Amino acid sequence: MLEGQEGLTWERWFAIADRVESLGLESLSRSDHFFSLMGHPERPALECWTSLTALAQRTQRIRFGPLVSPMTFRHPALLARMAAAVDLLSNGRLVVGLGAGWNDAEHQAFGIALPPLKERFDRLEEGIAVIKALWSGGPVDLEGRYYPLRRAAAYPRPLQRPAPPVLIGGDGEIRLLRIVARDADEWNSHAPGPDVYKVKRAKLEEHCRAVGRNPDAIHRSWMGGILIGRDAREVAEKGRWMQSFLSGLSGVRPDVAPDELRRRSWIVGTPDQVASQLEAWSALRIERVMFQWYNLDDLDGLGLLAELDEH
Report the predicted TM-score, pTM, of the whole model to 2 decimal places: 0.95
Give the total number of structural domains in the chain: 1
Structural domain contains residue 265: no
Structural domain contains residue 17: yes
Question: How far is 90 from 221, CA to CA, in rounded Å?
Answer: 22
Q: Could you give the C-alpha distances from 208 to 50, 131, 169, 184, in angstroms and in order?
A: 35, 22, 16, 11
pLDDT digits (tens, 9 = 90+) for 85-118: 999 999 999 999 999 999 999 999 999 999 999 9
Task: Quote the strand ranges of the chain, DSSP E.
Answer: 27-30, 63-66, 69-70, 96-99, 140-142, 149-152, 166-169, 186-189, 219-228, 267-269, 288-292
Pick the closest to residue 289 from 309, 310, 260 (CA basis): 309
Write down the mean pLDDT value for the chain: 96
Report the Cα 115 to chain-centroid distance in Å: 22
One-letter amino acid for residue 235 of the chain: V
Question: Other CB atoms closer than 10 Å to residue 259's CB: what's the count?
Answer: 13
Structural domain contains residue 251: no
Report the Cα 151 to chain-centroid distance in Å: 32
Structural domain contains residue 302: no
Q: What percent of the chain has pLDDT over 90?
A: 98
Q: Is residue 80's pLDDT more than 90? A: yes
- Confidence band, pLDDT 50/70/90 cuts, at residue 138: confident
For residues 310 and 305, which has the higher predicted lDDT (pLDDT)?
305
Residue 117's domain comprises 10-226+272-297
Pick the closest to residue 60 from 28, 91, 38, 16 (CA basis): 91
Question: How far is 150 from 275, CA to CA, in rounded Å?
Answer: 52
Structural domain contains residue 263: no
Mean pLDDT on 275-286? 95
Mean pLDDT on 110-136? 97
CATH number assigned to the domain comprising residue 39: 3.20.20.30
pLDDT digits (tens, 9 = 90+) for 201-230: 999 999 999 999 999 999 999 999 999 999
Structural domain contains residue 41: yes
pLDDT at position 248 is: 92
Structural domain contains residue 135: yes
DSSP state of 45: B
pLDDT at position 137 is: 87
Structural domain contains residue 16: yes
Q: At what angle do helices 299-307 and 271-283 cross, to 10 degrees?
A: 60
